[in-house]
């Protein structure tokens, strides 16, 4: 069964929406340049409201590892999702300190040829528990999924996904999971109708 992560929750109503449909994961963004940013205190409040069957991922970009560990130890987050320049030592250090599952994001950008081959090698060798592949950091844009054909390990697919293109994504690349944020929003706010459409396509409603 394809997993689903609904990312970028920052309102109490967002939590109520996901509690009604029960995705596998949700995401709290701790990157302060995002309009979906939540601070640790707000995230703790939202996590307390979250159905226990949904795992919360904290999304970070080159963040202080001590703060990440604190959030994991306090159970504000269940998973750690990294979107910056975090190397293998950084990832292994977090795993040792927290025991939390780690998702490492990679951006395809416009890579071709040797650049793309190097990226695929990096993805395959990454010590994170699972990888996420996106067109760019929260870009909300679809990329050429043909680039993923040589990746052997399970991955989350992200980038411009919505109810209109999910079936194609599932058929084209058979991802471990889908990570959706802007595709379930209307004017930057989570839209329950769109959330329900996504969950129905996955046969979860």
User: Mean per-residue pLDDT for 105-133?
Assistant: 88
Say if residue 180's pLDDT is above 90. Answer: yes
Query: From CA 139, how far away is CA 128, in angstroms rounded?
Result: 22
pLDDT of residue 64: 97
Query: Is 76:99 a contact under the CB 8 Å cutoff?
Result: no
Predicted local confidence at residue 143, as pLDDT: 66
- Please write the tens of the pLDDT for every residue from 71-82: 999 999 999 999
**Torsion angles phi and psi, residue 190, rounded to 5:** -60, 135
- Rounded distance, CA 105 to CA 122, Å? 11
More confident: 155 or 146:
155
Residue 142: what pLDDT? 62
Task: Note the pLDDT tens digit of each residue in 27-71.
Answer: 999 999 999 999 999 999 999 999 999 999 999 999 999 999 999
Nearest to 10 by CA among 49, 38, 33: 38
In this structure, are residues 2 and 177 in contact, taking their beta carbons and an 8 Å threshold?
A: yes
- Residue 117: what pLDDT? 85
129-139 pLDDT per residue, tens: 999 998 765 54
Specify the pTM.
0.93
> What pLDDT does 144 receive?
72
Residue 26: phi and psi, rounded to 5, are -130, 170
Domain 3-201 has CATH 3.30.70.270: no
At 150 the pLDDT is 81
DSSP 134-168: ESSTT------GGGGTT--S-EEEESS--TTTHHH
For residue 205, the model assigns a pLDDT of: 83
- Cβ atoms of 62 and 81 within 8 Å: the answer is no
Predicted confidence at residue 115, as pLDDT, reads: 83
- The pLDDT value recorded for residue 172 is 86
């Amino acid at each position: 069964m394809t997993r689903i992560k609904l990312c970028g929750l920052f309102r109490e109503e967002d939590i109520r929406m996901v509690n009604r449909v029960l995705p596998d994961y949700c995401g709290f963004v701790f990157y302060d340049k995002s309009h979906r940013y939540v601070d640790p205190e707000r995230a703790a409040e939202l996590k307390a409201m979250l159905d226990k069957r949904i795992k919360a991922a904290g999304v970070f970009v080159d963040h202080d590892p001590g703060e990440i560990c604190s959030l994991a130890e306090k159970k504000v987050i269940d998973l750690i999702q990294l979107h910056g320049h975090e190397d293998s030592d950084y990832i292994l250090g977090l795993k040792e300190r927290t025991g939390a599952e780690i998702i490492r994001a990679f951006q395809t950008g416009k890579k071709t040829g040797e650049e793309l081959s190097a990226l695929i090698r990096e993805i395959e060798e990454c010590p994170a528990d699972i990888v996420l592949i996106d067109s760019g950091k929260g870009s909300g844009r679809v990329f050429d999924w043909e680039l993923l054909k040589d990746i052997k390990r399970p991955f989350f697919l992200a980038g411009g996904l919505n109810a209109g293109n999910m079936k194609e994504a599932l058929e084209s690349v058979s991802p471990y999971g889908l990570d959706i944020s802007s595709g379930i929003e209307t004017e930057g706010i989570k839209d329950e109708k769109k959330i329900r459409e996504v969950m129905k396509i996955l046969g979860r409603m």
